[in-house]
Structure 1
Amino acid sequence: MPEANSNALAKIPTPRTLLKRYGIFARKSLGQNFLADINIARKIVELSGVSPQETVIELGVGLGTLTCALAEKVSRVIGFEIDKNLINILEKENFLPENVEIRQGNILKLDYQRLFEEIAKPLILFGNLPYYLSSRLLWRLVEQRKIINFCTFMFQKEVAERLSAMPGSKNYGPLSVLLALTARVEKLMQLSPGCFYPSPEVHSTVVKITFLNKALPNEKVLVALLKAAFSKRRKKIAANLKPLGLTKDQAKQLLLSQGLSPDLRAEQIPPEKYLALACALEAKAS
């Protein structure tokens, strides 16, 4: 790993300085709120527990603060950024360490399988994720979890609450269930709006997601079940299962077969019961 110069990195231009220098503005359409403090970035990297010999994928490089902190710690950083203007700034300023490679790309469209083959190890992902794509990206990463070691992401606090929500909570939903069944979710630290530039209106949470269960029985059925069950949260779950090809009576019988009352709502059913329902649905169809 190249020897990182921490003193030099401590003097990298701030996002505010860089945006002003090049006469551009953060793009709300891309959810751009840049991490502004290299010391906060170092703490995030340290809390993640990433090892020095690793190659890390950064999703959304922004203006390079987290990138530099990662480069101090790990062997190689491959960073993806959709905004060509930001890539041009980073290339002109030339403060990123030599073990960093920046590639233009949309993180919702990356070929994670190809990255896995390139690195020849399960992926380690970092990123400051904008609100508008957090859930969509996580659904995709859960699908790709066989080739992922762990992810350390900054989420808006509301999104982070959903990821580890318990049954009965208003934040409990399909992603809560899937992650409970497949991963360990750890909240590493809270970040105030002042940690970013421009400052968002909400607080953020740094979350580490370590995938443990690489395969679930009847996973496609489970995902379809979850989407149907939570489609109308105020209704009783038996009324929500019609898209699965069940009449209301069939839905009630399915629920009763797993010891569940048809009068329950989706948020009242624990993850392991959803898995049992998916297995029962698959058995019924075969």
Structure 2
Amino acid sequence: MSSRRQARGIVPRKSLGQNFLTDDATARRIVEAAEIERDDLAFEIGPGTGALTVHLVERAGWVVAIELDQALIPVLQDALGEARNITVVHGDALEVDFAGLVREAERAFGRPFKAIRFVANLPYYITSAAIRRILECGLPIATIVLTVQTEVAERVTAQPPNMSLLAVSVQFYGRPELLFKIPPSRFYPQPEVESAVLRIRPHAQPPDIGAQAFFRVVKAGFSQPRKQLRNTLAAGLGLNKAQVEAILMQSGIEPGRRAETINVEEWKELAKIFMSIKKSVA
């Protein structure tokens, strides 16, 4: 793969956060973590020079590879050889119509897919936005396997008392787990930080509260780091402290706790009570 990249004159673009995976054993391990079967559709974001793609086409019924850098597409096609079960899309994964791409892939495949899976070696600068876009796209996704900064993977999988807005946002939609770490030496160019492979299994049932109502309360709670919920929620939701303390007590949450100590189920209960009170006074 290295010689192919050099022959084509490919120079990694720092502006796109390109760090190409060069270790085939690691690539195979990442793809195996996605648990892809022959009747599945695999989305790959940022295929680059095809380190993961060559293994995805061996396992999936169909692959949709979304690449922003037009210059890499000939290199990717060269790496794929005779593979025909793939659609290469030149576009931005933060903007493409995932549902529309599924419909196109089903027409090419000839039947509905058993499962939809996402795999990506994400540029670090789009990590949070890409995770949110995938989780909120509305598709019935079975697994999401992402290569991200180790620090990000640890934040996503955190539990109380170390929760963050990112952790709550991901865990609202699914169950994340840090599978293994990847040293910088297995990328070209070598990133300055360690990477990790993160797997997210979306919940089988959708959340029992709307995302807009849920995140209104959660964002208010995290709006002032390390301050007590009675203060952050009052400021963020436009309520007085007495009202907030009543809501918190009704939720079974001590008003002096901080946002980092609240788990997803507690946030859900808090948001439900807040919405019920809001409707009663509307």
Give the TM-score normalised by the residue count of structure 2.
0.88
CA 1:93–1:274 in structure 2 vs 1: closer, same or farther (change >3 Å)? closer
Q: Distance in 2 between matches of 1:19 and 1:126?
A: 22
Q: Distance in 1 between matches of 2:152 and 2:267?
A: 22
In structure 1, the residue matched to 2:168 is 177
| 1:37 correspondence with 2:30 | no
CA 1:63–1:146 in structure 2 vs 1: closer, same or farther (change >3 Å)? closer
SS in 1 for 2:53: helix
Match of 1:197 among 188, 198, 220: 188
Structure 2 stretches of 5 or more lacking a match?
A: 107-111
Instruction: After TM superposition, give the deviation of residue 126 of structure 1 in Å.
Output: 0.7
Match of 1:208 among 185, 199, 205: 199
Give the TM-score normalised by the residue count of structure 1.
0.87
Q: Greater shift after overlay, 32-41 or 248-257?
A: 248-257
Q: Distance in 1 between matches of 2:187 and 2:230?
A: 44
| 1:257 correspondence with 2:247 | no
Conserved? CA contact 2:132–2:170, under 8 Å: no
Conserved? CA contact 1:239–1:248, under 8 Å: yes
Match of 2:179 among 188, 212, 228: 188
Conserved? CA contact 2:50–2:80, under 8 Å: no
Q: Distance in 2 between matches of 1:132 and 1:92?
A: 28
| 1:129 correspondence with 2:115 | no
Percent same amino acid among aligned pairs? 34
In structure 2, the residue matched to 1:247 is 240
Match of 1:222 among 200, 210, 214: 214
Instruction: After TM superposition, give the deviation of residue 87 of structure 1 in Å.
Output: 1.3
Conserved? CA contact 2:53–2:80, under 8 Å: no
Instruction: After TM superposition, give the deviation of residue 178 of structure 1 in Å.
Output: 3.6
SS in 2 for 1:69: helix
Instruction: After TM superposition, give the deviation of residue 107 of structure 1 in Å.
Output: 0.7
Q: Distance in 2 between matches of 1:149 and 1:49?
A: 9
Instruction: After TM superposition, give the deviation of residue 92 of structure 1 in Å.
Output: 5.9
RMSD: 2.0
Q: Greater shift after overlay, 249-258 or 61-70?
A: 249-258
Q: Distance in 2 between matches of 1:162 and 1:85?
A: 34
CA 1:136–1:176 in structure 2 vs 1: closer, same or farther (change >3 Å)? same
Q: Distance in 2 between matches of 1:77 and 1:182?
A: 24
Amino acid at match of 1:104: H
Match of 1:64 among 33, 45, 50: 50
Instruction: After TM superposition, give the deviation of residue 104 of structure 1 in Å.
Output: 0.3
Q: Distance in 1 between matches of 2:229 and 2:100?
A: 40
Aligned residues: 270
Conserved? CA contact 1:218–1:279, under 8 Å: no
Conserved? CA contact 1:218–1:278, under 8 Å: no
Amino acid at match of 2:153: A
Moved over 4 A (4+): 91-94
Match of 1:113 among 99, 105, 113: 99
CA offset digits 1:108-147 (Å, max 9, x no partner): 1121222333334452111101211111122222222543
Conserved? CA contact 1:146–1:214, under 8 Å: no
